Homo-oligomer: A and B are copies of this chain.
């Protein structure tokens, strides 16, 4: 995953344009079944419209000595996204009205966009900006806004059921790593992993969309299907650093996506950060909006807006790591395991089974089974298999990871001690 992120890092992505297409082509090499959609400029999606495509060739600021002191070639964050074309000579003070920098982060180039306004600007470190001498500057942006397309990628991995688990991530951010190359590479790895499973209960759909507009367009094209079939899912973002785990709920907050996420995170890192719906900021805003109402939550490493390098050039490849990506991948795999396997078990035995007789339990005084021991966990699990609680509910009630109970469940069904009351 880290290698993929490194390959994708230098590409200049934006809401639309060649960078997005190049990135999707790279992902298609990893996931040959990926379909790349193209939605034309002017397409109406609910309250929104696909804007013109942005084409940029060159952008720089030259000082009086003809030196390119800021150059888009060096870092694609240097240009405000969707900047209109300019070729002008102007004073230091006029130039300054088009510059963006962060006084409190003097070494960071900020990430700025202006999709729906025609203006232009450059981003640079505050250190560099402060050092600009008086004098005239030659400012060049060779960009165009053309009737073109907004692109997104989609892959469907069929399962036994038409019910779907939806993963969405975004591919509109230029050279930044945690937010957001981590999401696309973790989603690519999850899609490969799910595709490699011998069988799946659910169908899995992954989409790689430009944030906000992309998810709105995707929803608008598939609303009936999504509302009918999606039973769980996640918006995957900020899954690359190794500093924290965090959770952001769906709007309803108690869907299976939420409950699986909370369970896995509690057993992965009890100190995980738990955010509220009011702190949301990515495509769950669309997936969970009233009328759409999909069960989409987020499991993240350090959440957008909560790390100092956020939306600057400091969110680079050194911020993310193989371990960080792997941690997120593992947590999502465990959440998927819960979604795939949750069910409502019901005991077929009145009173406690004699566990030792069935080999579920080593022969000893059951009173000796200390809290947390495998024996106690089996006793506790059976005590709640009353046909009204899911295995996930039971795992929470008895404070044991779901993946520890799953083998016991399967063995007990084999032994005809339990039956499955209801598939969830």
Contacts and interface: CB of A to CB of B under 8 A. Distances in A.
Interface of A: 45-48, 112-113, 116-117, 212, 215-216, 219-220, 223, 251, 277-281, 285-286, 288-293, 304-305, 311, 346-347, 349-354, 356-357, 363, 365-367, 371, 379-380, 382-387, 397-399
B351 A220 contact: yes
Chain B CB count within 10 A is highest, among A288, A346, A349, A350, for A350
Contacts of A398: 278
A399 B397 CA distance: 30
Contacts of A351: 45-48, 215-216, 219-220, 285-286, 289, 292
B354 A48 contact: yes
Nearest to A304: B367
A109 to B, nearest CB: 16
A346 B70 CA distance: 48
Given A286-B352, A293-B386, 11 more contacts: A45-B351, A46-B350, A46-B351, A47-B349, A112-B365, A220-B350, A278-B399, A285-B383, A289-B351, A289-B383, A290-B386
A357 B47 contact: yes
Contacts of A219: 350-351
Contacts of A352: 47, 212, 216, 285-286, 289
15 contacts: A48-B354, A116-B356, A216-B352, A219-B350, A220-B350, A223-B350, A277-B383, A278-B397, A278-B398, A289-B350, A289-B352, A289-B382, A290-B384, A290-B385, A291-B350
Contacts of A220: 350-351
Given A48-B354, A285-B352, A366 B212 contact: yes
Nearest to A290: B386
A291 B386 contact: yes
> For the complex, would chain A's binding face be called helix, strand, loop or mixed by DSSP majority?
loop
A311 B368 CA distance: 11
A367 B290 contact: no
Nearest to A385: B290
Contacts of A397: 278
Which 10 A-B pairs give the minimum distances between C-beta atoms? A290-B386, A286-B351, A216-B351, A46-B350, A47-B353, A291-B350, A47-B354, A47-B349, A46-B351, A290-B347
Nearest to A355: B47
Contacts of A285: 351-352, 379, 383
Nearest to A353: B47
A159 to B, nearest CB: 27
B251 A383 contact: yes
A222 B25 CA distance: 70
B350 A278 contact: no
Contacts of A354: 47-48, 116
A366 B281 CA distance: 8
Nearest to A285: B352
Contacts of A367: 281, 304-305, 311
